[in-house]
Amino acid sequence: DTAVSQTPKYLVTQMGNDKSIKCEQNLGHDTMYWYKQDSKKFLKIMFSYNNKELIINETVPNRFSPKSPDKAHLNLHINSLELGDSAVYFCASSQPSGNEQFFGPGTRLTVL
Amino acid sequence: GEDVEQSLFLSVREGDSSVINCTYTDSSSTYLYWYKQEPGAGLQLLTYIFSNMDMKQDQRLTVLLNKKDKHLSLRIADTQTGDSAIYFCAERGGFETTDSWGKLQFGAGTQVVVTP
């Protein structure tokens, strides 16, 4: 039933490690996004994909590499994790012809 | 977001009305949104308004848009303790260019605390 789902919900890891966060939507949307929410709750777009193609890359370090195997999935891989990467990462999806953008439950990443 | 501003905190008594204000700068914004985030939870879409509308009502929620002043407000009638949360205002660009492609530009969020 969940429209936009993410795994894992919590991720605790050491600096320098590589980790992935997965996102899936069952809404049939063509566009998917990754947003980052920092410790002050500020939300900022990172990436936007439409129909598996990268559309927006908001000057995110190239340690972050999104991958969209199909329209329903947008995964986020992060190499060489840094302390400053600690945040909550939200996946979202929408339809270009639609008005609503739905968010997943978030993945809280803590880098030690 | 530097282009969307909100007051940071609002305290309201249970049963009163809450009004959360937001200003934005992008005149090409097509839609404006209100999201609710409860502690430890994701973002719940509450309501949205198209930029050529002045007002939208949805049960206890009323959205007012003053396009000339680029001012958006969310009124919650009969505020309940379950309304305690952070409320985010967001503006959305269109899908005409790859610069915007539907991305949401968020305000910093307004923490609403409802007291009995």
> Which secondary structure element, helix H or strand E, spans residue A100, and what is its range?
none
- Read off the pLDDT of residues B66-92 as tens digits, 9 standing for 90 and up: 988 999 999 999 999 999 999 999 998
Model pLDDT, residue A29: 93
| Amino acid of residue B102 | G
Which single residue is written with the structure tokens 């193609």?
A: A53
Nearest by CB to B98, from A56, A99, A100: name it. A56
- Read off the pLDDT of residues B15-29 as tens digits, 9 standing for 90 and up: 999 999 999 887 777
Average pLDDT of chain B is 90
- Give the HSE-up count for residue A86: Cα atoms under 13 Å, Cβ half-sphere: 11
pLDDT above 90: residue A42: yes
Does B87 lie at the interface with A, CB-CB under 8 angstroms? no
Is the bond into A96 cis (omega within 30 degrees of 0)? no
Nearest by CB to B42, from A55, A56, A90: name it. A90
Model pLDDT, residue B97: 67
Q: Quote the CA–CA distance of B34 and B112 in Å, as a whole number.
A: 13
